Amino acid sequence: MDCPFLTDDAVAALVVAVAPPLEEEDGLQPRAGTVDATARYGIDLAELADRSGGTSFRGVAGQVATVDLPRTHTGSTYRLPWAGLPSTIVLLGIGSGTDVELRRAGAALAGATRGLERVVSAATADATEAGVRAFVEGYLLAAYRIPRFGRPAAARSGEGPVQDSQAEQLVLLGESHETQLEAARVAATATWLVRDLANTPSNVKDPEWVAEQASALAGAAGLTVEVLGPKELAAQGFGALLAVGAASASPPRLVTVTYEPEAAERHVVLVGKGITYDTGGLSIKPREAMVPMKTDMAGAAVALAAVLGAAESGVRHKVTAVLPLAENHVGADSYRPGDVLRTYSGTTVEIANTDAEGRLVLADALGYAVATLAPDLLVDVATLTGAAGVGLGRGHAALFATNPGLVSGFEAAAAVTGERVWHMPLVEDYTSALRSDVADLRHVPLEARGGGAITAALFLREFTDGLPWVHLDIAGPARATASRHEVTEGATGYGARLLLQFLRDLD
């Protein structure tokens, strides 16, 4: 191994990998860089970690021990064995070195080296290409900081994004995996964008504001953008989107962003739920449930980030993101339980609960996509039901799909990005719950019988015109109450990397 390693730069840290002992009484196992560094430094690093990392440092992925070596005082003629080498050594636990563990190790490294100017890592010197990507992605994801004043990436430029500057500090030793590094950078950028948008408070983030952000970002990337305002929406029959947004002082928008490469093979339309705040409407939420609802546009942010990422990484397919944006508020113009709405497709819907607004705005957007965009595949992403979070927790999104190939496509993408999905059934018997006496459909079952994520999915299916379709309910993983590994507190950005990976791998 040669020598970005050799440096006089006092702020540089050298990162080497260790794994847990094989037997309880053994020491930590040296991994990439540790043996080399031990030889160069002339000290037993694994043994030092054992002592200085304390009993809790076992080399498990996500654990870090930092060793600061002393320097001689100025004027001393004594030469330490590590003179000229970085005086900070980071011993990074990588466990058995799987991709998941390397992603965690990367994330832990970002936390341990925050503020350092230069970090030289040998920890992935013998990892696979996928392992290197996972490591760098974990590092970049964990480097994220919530913007202080709710400014999105687009507006952060003056000061330079925190995460970008930390991205520049990391130097990897070993084979250079340019393609993997680029994939990690694009994927992390997509996730950061979703986090920035979803973390922005709703007094800043109304439908118009989100539409402006989307236009600015898509315009800068050379993509086509179309924004429909309230007048156009009314003229074109978006009855559901307009009803949901009717009580808000900030009226709805529908944004369409298109990426079309030459000789595109397929057309994938991504539809993202964009509720900029969900009070529940007249069926109002209690305070506890309302507080996190600024993130109820995470689906729209994911769809936007995915189309931008697809363009940046040269996906072969045409990709269109459709973002129905509205604020579900309370007011004299509120839509009511018992109202009958006419959706874009002409299907009428009897309102049962104004808090089930997501499926309504998605119904209009799906209907619009089917009628005007000629998709080969529809994918919707939404923080749709509390039920999905109750059933699966924060670790998995609920995945519904019309065919097994789509399920395995998403499962394969999830295995690459670590954003886990769980395949859910579209239970045919439950469609009877969507029957209404006064409209084509009732939008929420009359009696609560459980299966809320499933009945929501069945409702959406009515607007897909029998096309291949994937529905991702991200109500669980879209937010986190505490940072853990690569997942950061607040909006997690879940789904952006998943969708991007799916699009990259789609035949």
Residues assigned a catalytic role: 285, 359
Count of residues that interact with Mn ion, criterion CB under 5 A: 2
Closest CA to 172 of 19, 32, 66: 32
DSSP output for 267-333? EEEEEE-EEEEE--TTSPPPHHHHGGGGGTTHHHHHHHHHHHHHHHTT-SSEEEEEEEEEEE--STT
Is 473 an interacting residue with respect to Mn ion (CB under 5 A)?
Answer: no
Closest CA to 503 of 372, 325, 376, 398: 376
Residue 412 three-state SS: helix
Is 350 an interacting residue with respect to ligand BES (CB under 6 A)?
Answer: no
Q: Provide the mask over 335-374, with x wherever binding to Mn ion is found by CB under 5 A and - wherever it is not.
A: --------------------x-------------------
Structure tokens given for 501: 């990976």
Part in contact with ligand BES (CB under 6 A); list of ranges 20-28, 90-98, 251-259, 378-386: 378-386
**Cβ closest to ligand BES, residue 11 vs residue 284:** 284
Is 278 an interacting residue with respect to Mn ion (CB under 5 A)?
Answer: yes
Residue numbers 246-305 binding Zn ion by CB under 5 A: 275, 278, 296
Q: According to CB under 6 A, which one of 379, 475, 496, 499 is a site residue for ligand BES?
A: 475
Residue 131 three-state SS: helix
Q: How far is the CB of 277 from ligand BES (least distance, A)?
A: 10
Residue numbers 348-377 binding Zn ion by CB under 5 A: 358
Rounded distance between C-alpha atoms, residue 467 and residue 383, angstroms: 22
Residue numbers 152-211 binding Mn ion by CB under 5 A: none
Q: How far is the CB of 46 from Zn ion (least distance, A)?
A: 51
Is 139:110 a contact under the CB 8 Å cutoff? yes
DSSP class of residue 249?
Answer: S
Is 76:116 a contact under the CB 8 Å cutoff? no
Q: How far is the CB of 14 from ligand BES (least distance, A)?
A: 43
Structure tokens given for 479: 């937010």
Part in contact with ligand BES (CB under 6 A); list of ranges 72-80, 372-380, 385-393, 432-440: 385-393
Rounded distance between C-alpha atoms, residue 346 and residue 329, angstroms: 25
> For binding to ligand BES (CB under 6 A), which residues are involved?
278, 296, 353, 355-358, 383-387, 389, 444, 452, 475
> For binding to Zn ion (CB under 5 A), which residues are involved?
275, 278, 296, 358
> For binding to Mn ion (CB under 5 A), which residues are involved?
278, 355
